[in-house]
């Protein structure tokens, strides 16, 4: 069967509160039951099954042993979709003869043949189980899990909530998650109990900090509709936002806020591309407004990171010995801490729950058009090839319009062209799977080079303004001002050459074949 579930990370106190909480409005709830689960995971020392995206476990539920095989899937934005086979067996050892799916059985046998495999780790969980139902016909199993993962030499606590949709609409799954976590920030789990166990078995920290996540390739099929493609695009944007939200909360690295802002900008670009197909839609408008606000907050920290890494640091070796950069860094550090605190507060604000869950529902619900209240879906029903060609043509015309009289553009007009080029690149990346790689490669290479040059020009143009806006008045002294002047002057000289380079790269992009025609 196909399993659809949300996994939420919580602390021990929150878990205890959720277990005792009354059922949310609109949901009926069954009597709770609590049982002890011992789950034993099998693999080779070098994780042969894990590498094949297969999980093999046996579990004692207090009465008998069950064998479970999970294949594919994985966690994205807390949502898991995978194939699961579960059946009773006679004891703790796996029983391959009991597997009814011959293809799965043969794959397991071939992977483990002639290999040393056995128990890799175990989990011991106290599971409080309850079932929620609603008038939409949904039945949702909610497991409140508390326990440990352990190997022969180590163990780690586990506290999480799993919501599994047994039957009914996906919307109910997200609605229940929002209701349960209404005044608590929703932290999606992109791992699972097995992930903790595997890390323990490998001698790694059980909870690895989330890394910054770049956008992933979106696989679109030529025969699918524009609406189906939109759901995939929104889902990928959500994955990038959720992953980098975790990164920002767990690590102090500049790439986290950067990729978070990229994910939010890509989401807003997707809304813009589909604007004509979703005219004046209030739900989309609210999502877009939330994304804009969060992108602005992420941008405040990201801009300070750019100032340090790309504007000031390259010039430090060139500063006269009489110029110290330390007072400037001291001032910037204070501004960075302020921006970081503001961003992290926004990311743990429970008000963000609605944004994330609404976006998740749009990405995964078969009834998303009805939920948006759409009455005319003709543009969403277009073949994606037709829709993509129109979107790419429209984006390129917007770039051409802003590049008229290129050599005479003001700073503001260059900024507008830079934004148009960024939107063009997002559109290219959304639909790139529909086109031949060689046809696309030349244009995308020109676009990236052009965008990089304009990005540098924008960083230089904003540097003086950013420092003036962000630095406390008490630290804007003569020494700081002198260093700022030196840094700005050095970059301005380079910016003049970069502007000439930008014009050359624009001409190259104009001459590159427009592969979507």
Give the strand pairing for 79-89 and 2-9.
antiparallel
Report which secondary-structure segment, H or E, holds 300.
helix 282-306
Note whether 53 and 62 are within 8 A (CB). no
Tell me how far apart the alpha carbons of residues 222 and 228 are, in angstroms, rounded to a whole number: 11
Q: How would you classify residue 3: left for phi > 0, otherwise alpha for psi between -120 and 50, otherwise beta?
A: beta
Give the strand pairing for 2-9 and 139-150.
unpaired
**Polymer length of the chain:** 517
If you write DSSP's letter for every residue of 439-456 in order, what string do you get?
HHHHHHHHHHHHHHHHHH
- Name the percent of the chain in helix, strand, coil, to the closest 5: 55, 20, 25
Question: How do the domains of the chain map onto residue ranges?
Answer: 2-201, 226-372+382-511
Question: By C-alpha distance, which of 184, 196, 182 is closest to 75?
Answer: 196
Three-state secondary structure call for residue 178: helix
Question: By C-alpha distance, which of 337, 365, 318 is closest to 172?
Answer: 365
- Residue listed under structure tokens 């086109």: 435
Three-state secondary structure call for residue 86: strand
The distance of Cα 9 from the centroid of its chain, to the nearest Å, equals: 16
Per-residue pLDDT at 468? 60
Biggest CA-to-CA distance, the chain: 80
- Residue listed under structure tokens 């046809």: 439
Note whether 126 and 33 are within 8 A (CB). no
CATH 1.10.10.10 fits 226-372+382-511, yes or no: no
* Half-sphere exposure in the Cβ direction for 231 (13 Å, CA): 17
Per-residue pLDDT at 1? 43
Q: What does the angle CA 112 – CA 84 – CA 139 come to, to the nearest 5 degrees?
A: 165
Per-residue pLDDT at 471? 57
Domain made up of 2-201: CATH architecture: Beta Barrel (2.40)
Tell me how far apart the alpha carbons of residues 35 and 145 are, in angstroms, rounded to a whole number: 10
Q: What does the angle CA 334 – CA 336 – CA 340 come to, to the nearest 5 degrees?
A: 120
Three-state secondary structure call for residue 59: strand
CA distances, 474 to each of 71, 307, 329, 330, 488 (Å): 60, 20, 14, 12, 21
Tell me how far apart the alpha carbons of residues 357 and 238 are, in angstroms, rounded to a whole number: 10
Note whether 295 and 265 are within 8 A (CB). yes
Tell me how far apart the alpha carbons of residues 355 and 245 are, in angstroms, rounded to a whole number: 13
Q: Which DSSP letter does residue 8 get?
A: E
Give the CA radius of gyration of the chain: 26
**In sequence order, which residues have a C-beta less than 8 Å from that of residue 475 and are 6 or more positions away?**
327, 330, 331, 334
Per-residue pLDDT at 470? 55
Per-residue pLDDT at 76? 54
CB atoms within 10 A of CB 379: 18
Question: By C-alpha distance, which of 48, 41, 45, 46 is closest to 68?
Answer: 41
Q: What is the pTM of this model?
A: 0.87
pLDDT in tens, the chain (517 residues): 456 789 998 999 999 999 999 999 999 999 999 999 999 999 999 999 999 999 999 999 888 999 999 887 555 555 545 578 999 999 999 999 999 889 989 999 999 999 999 999 999 999 999 999 999 999 999 999 999 999 999 999 999 999 999 999 999 999 999 999 988 998 887 677 888 999 999 988 877 778 899 999 999 999 999 999 999 999 999 999 999 999 999 999 999 999 999 999 999 999 999 999 999 999 999 999 999 999 999 999 999 999 899 989 999 999 988 888 888 888 888 889 999 999 999 999 999 999 999 999 999 999 999 999 999 999 999 999 999 999 999 999 999 999 999 989 988 899 899 999 999 999 999 999 999 888 899 999 999 999 999 988 888 877 666 556 555 555 556 777 788 888 888 888 888 889 999 999 999 999 999 999 8
Burial bucket for residue 376 (CB in 10 Å: 0-12, 13-18, 19+): exposed
Beta-bridged to residue 127, according to DSSP, are 35, 145
Per-residue pLDDT at 290? 97
């Amino acid at each position: 069967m196909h399993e659809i579930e949300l996994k939420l990370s919580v602390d021990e106190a929150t878990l205890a509160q959720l277990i005792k909480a009354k059922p949310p409005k609109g949901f009926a709830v069954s009597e709770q039951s609590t049982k002890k689960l011992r789950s034993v995971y099998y693999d080779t020392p070098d994780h042969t099954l894990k590498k094949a995206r297969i999980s093999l476990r046996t579990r004692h539920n207090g009465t008998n042993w069950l064998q479970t095989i999970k294949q594919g899937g994985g966690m994205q934005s807390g949502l898991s979709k995978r194939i699961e086979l579960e059946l009773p067996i006679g004891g703790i050892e796996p029983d391959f003869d009991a597997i009814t799916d011959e293809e799965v059985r043969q794959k397991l046998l071939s992977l483990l043949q002639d290999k040393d495999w056995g128990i890799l780790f175990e989990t011991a969980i106290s599971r409080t189980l309850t079932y929620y139902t609603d008038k939409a016909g949904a039945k949702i199993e909610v497991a409140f899990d508390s326990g440990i993962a352990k190997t022969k030499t180590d163990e780690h606590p586990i506290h999480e909530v799993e919501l599994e949709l047994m039957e009914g609409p996906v919307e109910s799954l997200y609605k229940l998650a929002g209701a349960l976590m209404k005044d608590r920030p929703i932290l999606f789990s992109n791992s699972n109990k097995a992930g903790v166990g595997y890390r323990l078995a490998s001698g790694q920290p059980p909870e690895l900090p989330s890394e910054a996540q770049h956008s992933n390739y979106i696989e679109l099929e030529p025969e699918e509709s524009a609406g189906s493609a939109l759901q995939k695009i929104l889902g990928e944007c959500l994955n990038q936002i959720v992953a980098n939200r975790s990164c920002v909360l767990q690590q102090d690295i500049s790439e986290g806020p950067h990729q978070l802002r990229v994910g939010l900008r890509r989401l807003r670009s997707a809304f813009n591309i589909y604007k004509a197909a979703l005219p004046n839609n209030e739900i989309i408008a609210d999502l877009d407004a939330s994304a804009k606000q969060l992108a602005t907050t992420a941008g405040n920290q990201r801009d300070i990171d750019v100032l340090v890494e790309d504007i000031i640091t390259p010039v430090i070796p060139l500063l006269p010995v009489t110029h110290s950069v330390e007072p400037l860094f001291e001032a910037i550090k204070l501004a960075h801490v302020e921006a970081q605190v503001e961003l992290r507060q926004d990311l743990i604000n429970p008000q963000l729950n609605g944004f994330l869950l609404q976006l998740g529902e749009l990405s995964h619900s078969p009834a998303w058009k009805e939920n948006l209240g759409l009455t005319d879906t003709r543009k969403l029903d277009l073949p994606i090839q037709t829709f993509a060609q129109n979107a790419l043509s429209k984006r390129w015309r917007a770039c051409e319009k802003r590049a008229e009289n290129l050599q005479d553009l003001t700073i503001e007009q260059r900024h507008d062209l830079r934004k148009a080029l960024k939107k063009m690149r997002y559109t290219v990346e959304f639909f790139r799977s529909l086109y031949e790689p060689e046809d696309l490669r030349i244009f995308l290479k020109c676009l990236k080079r052009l965008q990089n040059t304009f990005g540098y020009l924008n960083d230089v143009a904003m540097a003086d303004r950013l420092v003036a806006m962000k630095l406390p008045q008490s630290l804007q002294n003569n020494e700081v001002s002198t260093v700022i002047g030196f840094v700005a002057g050095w970059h301005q000289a380079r910016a003049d050459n970069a502007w000439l380079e930008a014009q050359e790269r624009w001409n190259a992009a104009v001459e590159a074949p427009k592969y979507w025609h």
